[in-house]
Structure 1
């Protein structure tokens, strides 16, 4: 065998070992969300065939991003005839694509007809509001969906107004949500023979990843936020200018802020009734900010990060498309690789599998490159495949992960996000805490400080821990470790998101040779290797280091953190990797050991910054609320209550319809602003005009937004984060599900941001567990400990139901 043939054979063997090898995907091209979903599936081993559409030309216009998103896919030219579309869908296990306003897939395929004729196919659609509800088919984009979801309404200041996160983050997040949903149904279809329609709503995605459960916090607050305009807020301390750049902090806990206050020479801040509260000190930026800036500006970024790390304060240098790949940690971990043909840098796959190298970088296809060959292949397959008959209706069909048990050793948000998804899909998830150190969210919320058992009233804990059983064990005691190991023997999956040394110190994980079937997902902030390995890190630090903070903010201002988005993004990417590993284990009996750092997920969704810099020398910068394509775009005063309307004009037709409703600026002839280029040049004057027109009189904001949407112009009310759950579209689709908790009472909690057509969708099947609530069920019922053994564990403090000091 020649060298080239041997290399090809070796590559084929490696790809056969990837967890999604053999899965067939049709991607109806168009937009970042569907393309990123297809990329995730392809990188995990699936054969992805991209069907080119008119919308795909838009994505291809964003080169070199297209070369990154479409690596390794096959490309088929647009097919408009019913026979070709049917051939594609009969070939596919999964079909994914954006939905047109008329409710069809690109190419005109009717959703209902596709479901009826291809019931075994997993159909995944992505649209601004989903395909059901009163807003189905209306326009929306990342900017307006952030306004609806409560993102823009919790960031900014009174002078400059609400501020959206940069980087089209809703699109990237929708792509990974679609991929997770696809695998969830694929696992079920393998047993039932029945696919489903996973209906991804980008509004629900934006509400989930940007809102930080402020709508849940308001339900638990002693005094809910009164109706009114958004309460804009700037986190502090966050991004600070040093003598040579920017550095970012995350002081989510009282000890972290105390250490920060001591570092900047103001230890008394830690005991101040306002400054000590994470939810209040940002209101005092005028007093604290200048002192923090003065301290930092006499030091380099390296000096500040070194001092902060010595004090265990979560910190990171602020990166961007140019600087992030040069950080010593990224270089040591090999976080970026060169594109094989064009040579630009791009991030590696956002998870790593022990013993299995990632799929190597591959070229993106030419448009329609594989049309003839693929249609022949699909025809041959169809000739030898039985007609796709509808599977029987089995109301008792199990959930896809029924029978699997998960050892949940996670805390805060990203890790619990993974295990909640597994619980939604039917797994028995057992969450481990201790009375010495409960989940960090139980005691860190300013909204959980009143009433009986305040540790049972934390909004974030309630939001990401439904459907789980809760136990406590003190792992600093040999007896606690012994019981934990016995539990792990009864589990199929182990998930943790602590710094690497925590799990290693307790010695929980067995050698792979002892448990080759065990799936392990480790989610350290920075990864298991590299110089930052053991440093603390939170979502804000990922946003800072990856560049998301760098492109969020105003051109003349400092970078601003999105405030938590990298937690759910990290959780969703890790959940995707775990679901892929479950599929492989079902086929081979072998589990995978997965490393899914928060940092790697953040690098994936900010890939365009690095790709553009290394390919074209273009550095993405802060734009405020403006867009590189839409113009005008911004948040404008509207109505008499101090509220805002978000508006994004994406094309010339939308501009004509907008001016048909509001009139035309009297300082320009109609044809002067007919093109996007002209509107970009006149953006300052357009902003002033829109502020004036929309704020005059007693204009009804809700009615104005509705009229714009019905005219096909993306628009939104800038909603306070606490009021996001009142949205009529979210209510109609049941995105916030009510559930009763013994202590917290009735809560409406967000679900997975997609609906399943047949109703077997992720649901909250039980409320978040009380601390140690299921000690008896798990230790007695599952592990067989006697009543005497349980009593001894409780008497010695190994288990319990109240935090120490609670």
Structure 2
């Protein structure tokens, strides 16, 4: 999030092409040619130098000027939204994203749209103590008979890229569906390049790719070729669900439109999850989860009150993925009733707006524009991060009740007589001085034993590796052909006391191509021709073979 001449502007460079285009846009092409700046680690090491050039450009232009230019370069960008400005953006106005609530405020509509189904209208929440509407009698539509594999027999065609689409498809596969992922060896799934590793077969080392694609069957196809399109068409003919999250123009250019799918496979459910939706002024803009956090208001609440707006760093992908999973389940259940599939629109930005909805509700109902609170919370006080005796190691404390506050007072000297809501600055000073004399994990245990919610902060590299995770079998280990023994996170729920199996490691590029092609009826000679013609491969185009 950078300063413009009339406000703040959001920019997000994930791919190497986006970084080079940004350098060209700000008049610093030498940065784009500098090998040290190809990766984010090098940019961080020279951040002051890089920021100076970026700020010199952005501060000389308005938000609209920067967004127009960055959009022409296809760099993810946008204005930085808050509760007051979000409802007025032309894209949201044209698409009718914000709606009146029966109780007198506005908020985002549901994030998912269906071509054939109509969602129930918004109703007032019941008053405190009142009873809500009773659900209809009788069981709902059932999908499968095995609680651990309710989607057994359902075929998923995964055309997704990066994170939101592949994660949604992965969850459906873990629920029992058969899945084939299509990926181009000409232009790899961009998440394959999101890695800090510098080693051979770099595209097989991305933690993000591994996390989004465990256990998948992968076929490599160049969909710009007629032969690749023919194979794709055969896969579409038998798919129950098709998932993609490119910008709309990509699937349109490949002819993978709703009309085309419905014409050849009326029972198919087609989920499209572009950044900003299938229509509207921002339709063709690209964006990642971080872009949605910038534009959609989450960054407006992340940071210290007197500091810059920061990014939550990616949770919107998971929001959108889970919304998409629910939408697919609803559409499949409805297909049991109607016999036909439908188009689902699940824009990334509208998932973000669900998470930031309180800002629009608060502004429309009371005129309050919410901003950053740092590590504090309106629901807990005191709450914060406090450095322990070890350098750059932190202890999180969050007090939600007077009983917890009394427990903390009994453990930490200097808190007696302080009001937990009115003396927060002084409380932070006392807790900060106390924590600097603590050893970290020992202090976490002392606080927990005293009835105080606390946690020792761990580096993301170690997330999922606590003793509690180990006891519950959260990590699933699989042998990958390139990365060796590799841990994968389970989904955060148990069925009959166990995590659902992920089924294997993430696939290598083109790992199952022949297997998939054979299942479609291609003989050995036909498959060989596809390899010879470059329609398929197990090596990225443009990367020299050793």
Equivalent of 1:313 in 75, 84, 89: 75
Paired with 1:411 and 1:243, the residues of 2 have a C-alpha distance of 35
Counterpart residue number, 2:517: 779
Asked if 1 retains the 8 angstrom alpha-carbon contact of 2:28 and 2:53, the reply is no
Counterpart residue number, 2:390: 640
Asked if 2 retains the 8 angstrom alpha-carbon contact of 1:325 and 1:336, the reply is yes
Paired with 2:102 and 2:464, the residues of 1 have a C-alpha distance of 46
Equivalent of 1:355 in 100, 116, 122: 116
Q: Is 1:277 matched up with 2:277?
A: no
Deviations 1:742-798 (A, max 9, x none): 111111111111122343x42211211111111111111x21011111011110001
Paired with 2:174 and 2:242, the residues of 1 have a C-alpha distance of 16
Q: Is 1:241 matched up with 2:3?
A: yes
Q: Is 1:795 matched up with 2:525?
A: no
Q: How does 1:757-772 map to 2 (within 5 A)?
A: 757-759=496-498, 761-772=499-510
Counterpart residue number, 2:91: 329
Paired with 1:443 and 1:651, the residues of 2 have a C-alpha distance of 46
Counterpart residue number, 1:656: 406
Any stretches of 5+ residues in structure 1 without a counterpart? Answer: 1-238, 386-393
Paired with 1:712 and 1:763, the residues of 2 have a C-alpha distance of 35
Q: How does 1:426-505 map to 2 (within 5 A)?
A: 426-447=176-197, 449-451=198-200, 453-505=201-253
Q: Displacement, 1:586?
A: 2.6
Any stretches of 5+ residues in structure 2 without a counterpart? Answer: 140-144
Paired with 1:400 and 1:631, the residues of 2 have a C-alpha distance of 43
Asked if 2 retains the 8 angstrom alpha-carbon contact of 1:417 and 1:464, the reply is yes
Equivalent of 1:296 in 58, 65, 69: 58
Asked if 2 retains the 8 angstrom alpha-carbon contact of 1:651 and 1:676, the reply is no
Identify if the C-alpha distance between structure 1 residues 369 and 629 changes in structure 2 by more than 3 Å, giving closer, same or farther: closer
Deviations 1:635-682 (A, max 9, x none): 1111234411111122222121112111224xxxx33x2x4432xxx2
RMSD value over aligned CA atoms?
A: 2.0
Q: Which runs of 4+ in 1 moved over 4 A?
A: none
Q: Displacement, 1:604?
A: 0.8
Q: How does 1:575-590 map to 2 (within 5 A)?
A: 575-590=325-340
| Corresponding residue pairs, total | 536
Counterpart residue number, 1:754: 493
Identify if the C-alpha distance between structure 1 residues 801 and 276 changes in structure 2 by more than 3 Å, giving closer, same or farther: closer
Deviations 1:509-531 (A, max 9, x none): 42535422111100101100111
Q: Displacement, 1:592?
A: 2.2
Paired with 1:720 and 1:246, the residues of 2 have a C-alpha distance of 30
Alignment TM-score, normalising by the size of structure 1? 0.64
Paired with 1:490 and 1:365, the residues of 2 have a C-alpha distance of 45
Q: Displacement, 1:700?
A: 2.4
Q: Displacement, 1:730?
A: 1.5
Deviations 1:376-403 (A, max 9, x none): x99xx7xx99xxxxxxxx9x87711111
Counterpart residue number, 1:399: 149
Identify if the C-alpha distance between structure 1 residues 370 and 640 changes in structure 2 by more than 3 Å, giving closer, same or farther: closer
Asked if 1 retains the 8 angstrom alpha-carbon contact of 2:359 and 2:369, the reply is yes
SS where residue 219 of structure 2 aligns? Answer: strand
Equivalent of 2:26 in 250, 256, 264: 264
Asked if 2 retains the 8 angstrom alpha-carbon contact of 1:429 and 1:467, the reply is no
SS where residue 288 of structure 1 aligns? Answer: helix
Q: Displacement, 1:446?
A: 2.8
Equivalent of 2:469 in 730, 738, 750: 730
Asked if 2 retains the 8 angstrom alpha-carbon contact of 1:630 and 1:676, the reply is no
Q: Displacement, 1:418?
A: 0.6
Paired with 1:302 and 1:398, the residues of 2 have a C-alpha distance of 50
Paired with 1:441 and 1:581, the residues of 2 have a C-alpha distance of 28
Q: Displacement, 1:545?
A: 0.8
Deviations 1:443-479 (A, max 9, x none): 34232x303x222222111111012100011111111
Q: How does 1:582-731 map to 2 (within 5 A)?
A: 582-665=332-415, 670-671=416-417, 673=418, 675-678=419-422, 682-696=423-437, 699-731=438-470
Q: How does 1:84-99 map to 2 (within 5 A)?
A: none
SS where residue 754 of structure 1 aligns? Answer: coil
SS where residue 479 of structure 2 aligns? Answer: strand
Deviations 1:673-712 (A, max 9, x none): 2x4432xxx222222221111112xx22112111212322
SS where residue 647 of structure 1 aligns? Answer: strand
Paired with 1:272 and 1:694, the residues of 2 have a C-alpha distance of 43
Deviations 1:397-427 (A, max 9, x none): 7711111111110110011001100110111
Q: 595-604 or 701-710: which moved more?
A: 701-710
